[in-house]
Amino acid sequence: MTIKKPSAIPSYEITSERAYLNRRQFMRRSGQFILGASAVLVGCGEADEPNSQTSEQKRIAIPEKVLTAGKQYPAPAWLQKQVSSARPSHFRADDPLTPYQDVTSYNNFYEFGTGKKDPASLAKDFVTDPWSLTVEGEAEKTGKFTLEDILKPHAIEERIYRFRCVEAWSMVVPWLGFSLADLLRRFQPTSKAKYVLFETLHDPKRMIGQRGQFSLIDWPYIEGLRIDEAMHPLAMMVVGLYGKTLPPQNGAPLRLMVPWKYGFKSIKSIVKITFTDMQPKTTWQNLAPNEYGFYANVNPAVDHPRWSQKRERRLPSSLFSPNYIDTMPFNGYADQVASLYKGMNLNKYF
């Protein structure tokens, strides 16, 4: 497990997105990322922030060519400015980044269809301004807040996380956002708050996947974390990726990222947070409790009933150029999070 010091320059400033979209070109330019077929994955960990910064360590403005290389999705000017000021954090996996094109075109977001390419197509006109977030339950400060109320107090940082889907494919993404714990503390949860529940927008007029009479999902989409999981430093609220605000298909304007859990836990387009003393029944838990547990920690030792979880297909990957790697416990973050589950039977509490 390697502990990374923060780089002076975000990843999207080092290599242009055009290079990211050309994997071979990217690998030629980034020699330290050249890996064999049996890639060794190095974990990211916490490190002390430097006490002071030299002029070279100060954030460098994102070049215009990077901002224009990929699409900038509609967002308020204040949010675009906040995202563009993001600085690299010490949470940085060493794995090669997944190309922007794959990150934004291969998605699970059933509110916009069940196919992997459906969200990018069907969410392209999804409007996220204005947006509000309701906070309820066991907390001193509750109510309805504008997106600006929620985001303005937080400095945005870049965190490079591995992202592992329960379907056994994975990505490595430079997310932009801030600590979930920092947000939740603002609402002053009481001692009764044992769990945190998150809810996605329910709006069939704008989310075509919610319109079907025969949908198996009982909308809205619901996810949850135990309070100590939510307060862990790795848990993150995301507002952007690759130096830009979030595309709709990736969960604009606000989504969760819990990198040691399967991707379905990282709920998108959040409109409600509820502090509760009861473990919530989450969407996939309700649909198939024998397949999708509440915890959903990445665990190669516990197979999905219909497929193995021992290996994963790291994107980009194709039939003629497959990119299979071994899956790591807790997605490679075991050193940071395994203590949360000390004494638990992870075969039972999956």
The whole-angstrom separation of Cα 67 and Cα 327 is 33
Q: Which structure tokens are listed for 85? A: 């000021």
Residue 251 and residue 73 in contact, taking contact as beta carbons nearer than 8 Å:
no
Give me the mean pLDDT over the 192-197 stretch: 98
pLDDT at 62 over 80: no
User: Which whole number is the average pLDDT over 183-191?
Assistant: 98
CA end-to-end span of the chain: 24
Mean pLDDT, residues 305-323 taken together? 95
pLDDT tens digit sequence for 136-175: 999 999 999 999 999 999 999 999 999 999 999 999 999 9
pTM of structure = 0.82
Averaged confidence pLDDT in the chain: 85
Closest CA to 100 of 237, 241, 238: 241
Q: Is 317 exposed, middle or buried (0-12, 13-18, 19+ CB in 10 A)?
A: middle
SS3 98: coil
The yes-or-no verdict on residue 11 having pLDDT over 90 is no
pLDDT for 215: 82
Of residues 28 and 134, the one with the higher pLDDT is: 134
Per-residue pLDDT, 35: 29
Q: Which stretch of 7-11, 34-38, 166-170 has the lowest confidence by average pLDDT?
A: 34-38
Residue type, 172: V
Element (DSSP H or E) covering residue 66: helix 64-69
Q: What separation in angstroms does the CA of 280 have from each of 44, 140, 181, 215, 277?
A: 30, 20, 19, 21, 9
> Which of 1-15, 63-77, 194-208, 262-276 is predicted with the least confidence, judged by mean pLDDT?
1-15
Residues 6+ apart with CB under 8 A from 4: 44, 45, 47, 90, 91, 92, 94
Q: Write the burial class of residue 343 (CB in 10 Å: 0-12 exposed, 13-18 middle, 19+ buried).
A: exposed
pLDDT over 60 (residue 339): yes
Q: How buried is 229 (Cβ within 10 angstroms: 0-12 exposed, 13-18 middle, 19+ buried)?
A: buried
Taking CA 38 as the corner, what is the angle to CA 36 and CA 39, rounded to the nearest 5 degrees? 70
* pLDDT tens by residue, 64-106: 443 444 667 889 999 999 999 999 999 999 999 999 999 999 9
Q: Residue 213: what pLDDT?
A: 77
Structure tokens at 76: 């308020």
Neighbour count for residue 203 (Cβ, 10 Å) = 14
pLDDT interval class at 265 (50, 70, 90):
very high
